[in-house]
Amino acid sequence: MEFRLLRYFVAVAEELHLGRAAERLGIEQSPVSRAMRDLERLLGVQLFDRSSRQTRLTWAGQVLLIEARRVMATVEQAVQATKGAAGGYQSYLRIAICDGLALPRIATLLADSREDEPELDIRVFELPFSQQLKGLHDDLLDIGFALSDAVTAGLIAEAVWTDPLSVIVPTRHPLLAHGQVRLDDALKFPVVLCHPEAHSGCYYQIQAVLEGATVPPRVVEHVTSLGLMLTLVGAGYGIGFAVASQVRTLLRPDIVIRPLCGTPPTLSTYLLRRRGEPSAPMKRFIERVNDGSAPAVDPPVL
């Protein structure tokens, strides 16, 4: 399989639109469309559901998206390691983040680290929880940030911060009549959730919140990424739940964020690492994480 096919596939899977994917890749649309047909023929599976007006990933396509991102992250790590060696870097950290995290927090953390230690080579990868565990075990990663603490033997998970959970709705929706939304009112509408087989702590944390409601959720779609969840919410499939600060960074005009009434439930983020004494750069990085781990409060949504 050519690496090019995976790169094209990730763009199409994330955009769910051939034109936008081609624009993102900087090529014409026809080679992208042809590449997707070639990839499906090569694998012998259907990756996209084209039966409706909007292109959607099949479950096989969602699984391939997870694996393709992992392959691309590994290749990028190899490239960065080579460039780092040529640049004379003496120390580095390999950090993985999972989809759905509050990225403004991590951006601030990385900026502080770069300012305090400009000589430290920090490489960042986006990987699902299960791949973070494997990368930590295989010494391909130093630190992971995930929404689950269900680590395997030899690893440590430490809760480092929490973020309030909000309701995500399309731009035209009855819930927009309320500045804040009761969870039971939100669950009167169909819901788009993370897939339990995506091995993401996001699913289990949100599921625990929904089990506390008196209205059982009516799940219409399971997805493997925040981006796909927002796409389906924007298209009117249902509502979703996510961290508001993360959703705002994506600047999507087709969705609106509403806070939950009362004291909102929160998603916990965990720092993952191998057991044992951390390296000096890792220890300093963890200290920065702990220094800035006070819970964030989202500003009110008007």
- Per run of 10 residues, the mean pLDDT along the chain (length 302 residues) is 90 89 92 92 91 82 89 79 61 80 79 86 84 88 89 90 89 90 91 72 81 86 83 90 81 89 86 90 89 47 36
Measured CA to CA in angstroms, residue 138 lies from 62, 135, 155, 198, 274 at distances of 25, 5, 11, 21, 10
Strand partners, 163: 267
The total of other beta-carbon atoms located within 10 Å of residue 36's CB is 21
DSSP annotation of 66 reads H
Rounded Cα gap, residues 46 and 138, in angstroms: 32
Instruction: Give me the pLDDT at residue 268, please.
Output: 87
Rounded Cα gap, residues 59 and 222, in angstroms: 9
DSSP annotation of 174 reads G
Contacts of 156 (CB under 8 A, 6+ apart): 272, 273, 274, 275
Instruction: Give me the pLDDT at residue 190, please.
Output: 93
Instruction: Give me the pLDDT at residue 197, please.
Output: 63
Q: In degrees rounded to 5, what are phi and psi of residue 250?
A: -85, -15
Contacts of 290 (CB under 8 A, 6+ apart): 160
Question: According to the 3-state scheme, what is the secondary structure of the chain?
Answer: CCHHHHHHHHHHHHHCCHHHHHHHHCCCHHHHHHHHHHHHHHHCCCCEECCCCCCEECHHHHHHHHHHHHHHHHHHHHHHHHHHHHCCCCCEEEEEECCCCCHHHHHHHHHHHHHHCCCCEEEEEECCHHHHHHHHHCCCCCEEEECCCCCCCCEEEEEEEEEEEEEEEECCCHHHHCCCECHHHHCCCCEEEECHHHCCHHHHHHHHHHCCCCCCCCEEEEECCHHHHHHHHHCCCCEEEEEHHHHHCCCCCCEEEEEECCCCCEEEEEEEEECCCCCHHHHHHHHHHHHCCCCCCCCCCC
Residue given tokens 């090529």 in the structure block: 27
Residue 239 CA to chain centroid, in angstroms? 18
- Count CA within 13 A, CB hemisphere, residue 20: 9
What letter represents residue 53's amino acid? Answer: R
85, 81, 42, 199: which is closest to 133 by C-alpha? 199
- pTM of the entire predicted model: 0.64
